Structures are given as structure tokens and as C-alpha cells.
Structure 1
Amino acid sequence: MTDPATIDLSKDAAARAAVALVENGMKLGLGTGSTAKIFVDRLAERVHDEGMDLRCASTSKATADQARKLGLVVEELDDLGWLDLTIDGADEVDPDLNLIKGGGAAHLREKIVATASDRMVVVADQGKVVECLGKFKLPVEVIPFGWKSTRTHIERALAELEMEGRPIILRERDGNPVLTDESNLILDLALEEIRDPHGLARQLSSIAGVVEHGLFLNICSLAIIGRPDGSVVELLREDLE
């Protein structure tokens, strides 16, 4: 297992490299998660050091609170309109820069903000890079009403994709269901590997009761991957080269 201190160094390296992409006057989307949190810290340092003028939209209440405490200007996405850039983390990144997100139960807002931006850039450590998505449980946000029926529809969809029998787990904390910022539930799909992410995304999106899933497909344009020695590797989506 990688030393936690080394992982933090990797995340910090990725965050610092992402901060360098930010330009004065930008409208910026701020992500959620451990690496995104470090990015917000480093961004605030640069804003204060250089007197930068930024307007930010947040992907979660937690990130908004963090950013405001650090003196960043956070506004509603609808007031900002289209964003120049969104920087966010990821739970998994595949070679095509498809992602699984939602470990922090914020993937609905994260996807709304990312797709309202000219560009989405992911910051992560090496442990998030995978050959095939699916080891990390796929989060699916569902409304509380009829959630067990929604789970049944998800089970049937998985069976159609030859993934029957995979566990679907209601996310809980301290014995209580985890609620998103929209007061919805999270079902975590233990799929092991997702050979057809686009097919799965279509199936999940067609189910009544599913609000959003954690597959981010053809959204991320650049992934900045931090290494234990403090260096970074940049992965660019091939169709954008």
C-alpha cells in the first residue's frame, strides 16, 4: 500500500500544476474531493499572492464553504453562465479519460458544472489511473421515492449488459443513508469492470428514478496525474490532440 504521505505529495503536485492553468478573469468551476480540496487551497494562495480576479462556481456545499473561507468569490452557476474551466478530481481515470466520479456523493453537481465549461481538467494521483473502469464502485444518485424499484430496474439493466448478480449497495454512514446536496440517495454498483461504459450510461440514464450516474464520458479533456516524487504526467484525450 502506498504511504499516505506520498499520496498527499502526489495530489499536491497535481493540484499545483492545475493552478498554473488558471488565468486572471476566468470563470472557474471548483471540484469536490481530496485532490480538488488541495487545488482550492493552492488556488486561494495564488489568488491572494497575485491579486487575481476570479469568479467561481462550486460542485458542492462543502467546496463552496471551503472556497469562501479562503476568500474566493463563489457564485451560483446560473449567475455565472458558461465557465472557462473546471478543475475536479476523479475516483478512476481510464486511458480514454473516461472517469468514475461520485465517491463524495457530488457527481450530479460535478457533471452539471463540468458540462457547463469550455474545458474540464482532472487532478489525481497515480492510484486513480486504471486500464478499465469499475474497480471503484459506480455511484448512482436516485430519488428516495421508490428507490427499491429503481434498484430493481438497475439490476435488470445490468443483466442485459451481462453484468447480472453484481452487488448494488445503498450508501450509508453511521447506520443512516447518505444524502446528497439534493437530498437524494446513492446506490453504489460493485461492477469490478465496465467493458461498455457508454452502453451502461445509456441504460442507467433511461431509468425513471435515476437522477445521475458517476460515469463521466467524453467530458474530461486533460488529466494531470501527480507522482510520488512531486512530478506530474499530463494525459490528453486523443481526439483533442
Structure 2
Amino acid sequence: MATTDKNQQDAEKLAAARAAVKFVKDGDVVGLGTGSTTTFAIIELGKRVKDGLQIKAAASSIRTEELAKSLGIEILDLGRLSEIDISIDGADEFTASLDLIKGGGGALFREKIIASLSKNALIITDASKKVKKLGAFTVPVEVIPLAYQYVFDQINKLGGSGVLRTKDEQAFITDNGNLIIDADFGLIDDPAKLANNLNQINGILAHGLFINLTSKVIMSDGTDIIIFE
């Protein structure tokens, strides 16, 4: 059962993180996502590295890279990798069919590259993230600044409405120097179709619909670990 209690959510995030980290083996190249849930996993990986686990990692954001380095995890240049053994990331929403919305933390493009490179892409969540249909959480869309108005108009033509993401009363800027439009399409009947339509819009670097990019979702629900695959 989903819960809105933050302490319970944090306990579930930690439990899911610990379950996911057990899949990491000596010699792995590990993709590290961004967000509160993934932070738990990175800390747990850091403990294993301190105990002798030999891994290298690729980070999906500057803040993830800084955290990993502070815990003794060696970071590789994502742009030079042809594959990643295993990745661990969170999600804003997921369905039992492993369709996801991601990007609440603003790192969706690099997270999508990591997922695409991963032989084993793990998503960790608390129980509140499981939904029957995606769309209660808006779909983040990373946009090249000069294409902002064009992309905004195209989202409207697809039946959505968009809001420019802000932080501290300024436009939120991604690690790639771009803007994010948080697009509301309501509950999404066909995520794959919407993802394809968004893929056709010039000026979009990436969107937060992750389709066919996930190997397993490891969800903690109270004291239970449930794996969707």
C-alpha cells in the first residue's frame, strides 16, 4: 500500500537501495542515477567500496558525481563508454509493465543515456511510485533554449500543457545548459506513442518517458521487497 509518510518512504527507499546494491559485482561499471532514492544506493555502494568492492561508475549529474567521489567511487567519463554493466536509478512513477516517468531531479537526459547503455538497468522506488497509468506526475522535457517556444507550442498540439520549470524564481538550468518544460498530458493511455511523438519534435534533447529501458523495478512496500521484471 502506498504511503505519504516521509519517514516510511525513506525507510522504503533505503530498503530498495540495499536490495539493488546486492546485484553489483566486483569489476562492474555502474551507472548512477540522480535523486533522493538513488542517493541511498550510492551511500550503500560507498560502504561496499570501503569494504573492498572494486567498481567504477558513470554519473548522471554533477551532484551524483560529487557524492560518489566523496565516497571513494571512481568516476568514468560517460561519453566514452560503450556499455554499462548495471545501473541504479529512481523513478517518479512506474507501471507494472516497466514504463516510467523520470526527470523530477532534472537529470533525465544523462539518466536516459545511462539506461540505454546498461545491460542491467535497475530502478528502485518506494511504494508510492507505483501507478496503474502514468501521468499524474508531469513529463519533464529537456529543451534547447532557442527552441523553447516551438517545443512549447508542439506540446500543446499533442494535447498537453507545459510549464517552464523554475528554481529560486529563475529558470531551472540543467547540467547540459538547457531548460525543462514540465508537460501535463493527463493520464497517459499509450506512453510508447506519446514518447514517439515527443521524439519527433526538433529542439527536445530528451523527455522523461522511459519505455523499454528498464530491466527490473525493485520496490519496497513496508517490509516487503517486490521485484517487477
Q: TM-score range by the shorter chain?
A: over 0.9
Describe the SS at the equivalent of 2:23: coil
Select between 24-33 and 144-153 the one with higher mean Cα deviation: 144-153
Residues in 2 aligned to 1:178 and 1:13: alpha-carbon distance in whole angstroms: 31
What is the aligned partner in structure 2 of residue 98 from structure 1? 99
1:146 Cα deviation (Å)? 3.2
Q: Which residue of 2 aligns with 1:197?
A: 191
1:150-183 Cα shifts (integer Å, max 9, x gaps): 2112211x1xxxxx3x431100112111011101
In the alignment, the residues of structure 2 paired with residue 211 and residue 71 of structure 1 have an alpha-carbon distance, to the nearest angstrom, of 31
CA contact (8 A) 1:13 1:227 kept: no
Structure 1 match to 2:14 = 12
Is 2:228 aligned against 1:235? Answer: yes
Matches within 5 A, 1:165-180: 166-180=160-174
The residue number in structure 2 matching 1:239 is none
Aligned to 2:125: 124
User: Residue 66 of structure 1: SS of its match in structure 2?
Assistant: helix
- Aligned to 2:124, the other structure's residue is in SS state strand
Counterpart of 2:151 in structure 1 is 150
Question: Could you tell me how far apart the structure 2 residues matched to 1:54 and 1:13 are?
Answer: 21
SS at match of 2:48: helix
Alpha-carbon separation, structure 1, partners of 2:135 and 2:45: 31
Kindly provide the amino acid, as one letter, of the partner of residue 9 in structure 1. Answer: A
Structure 2 gap ranges (5+):
none
Structure 1 unmatched ranges of 5 or more: 159-163, 237-241
CA contact (8 A) 2:164 2:180 kept: yes
The CA RMSD measured in Å over matched residues stands at 1.1
Cα distance in structure 2, aligned partners of 1:28 and 1:21? 11
Q: Any idea what SS the aligned residue of 2:87 has?
A: strand
- CA distance in structure 2 between the aligned counterparts of 1:46 and 1:96, rounded to whole angstroms: 31
Matched positions, count: 227
TM-score normalised according to structure 2 size: 0.96
Task: Find out whether 1:113 has 2:107 as its counterpart.
Answer: no
1:95 to partner: Cα distance: 1.4
What does residue 70 of structure 1 align with? 71
- CA drift of 1:36 comes to 0.4
8 A contact 1:27–1:80 mirrored in 2: no
CA-to-partner distance for each residue in 1:203-228, whole Å, 9 max, x for gaps? Answer: 11111111111010011010000122
Task: Give the equivalent residue in structure 2 for 1:161.
Answer: none
Indicate yes or no: 2:49 matched with 1:47. Answer: yes
Distance 2:71 2:49 in 1: 10
1:11-30 to structure 2, matched below 5 A, reads 11-30=13-32
Task: Measure the CA separation in 1 of the matches of 2:155 and 2:13.
Answer: 34
Task: Report the equivalent of 2:210.
Answer: 216
Measured after TM superposition, the shift of residue 25 of structure 1 is 0.5
Check whether the contact 2:155–2:183 (CA below 8 A) recurs between aligned residues.
no
Identical aligned pairs, as a percentage?
41
> How far 1:77 sits from its partner (Å)?
1.8
Partners in 1 of 2:56 and 2:81 — Cα distance?
A: 8
Distance 1:199 1:146 in 2: 22
In the TM superposition, residue 80 of structure 1 has moved relative to its aligned partner by 4.0
Amino acid in structure 2 at the alignment position of 1:210: I
SS of the counterpart of 1:14? helix
Report the Cα distance in structure 2 between the residues aligned to 1:75 and 1:6, rounded to whole angstroms.
34
Deviations 1:133-164 (A, max 9, x none): 000010000011031122112211x1xxxxx3
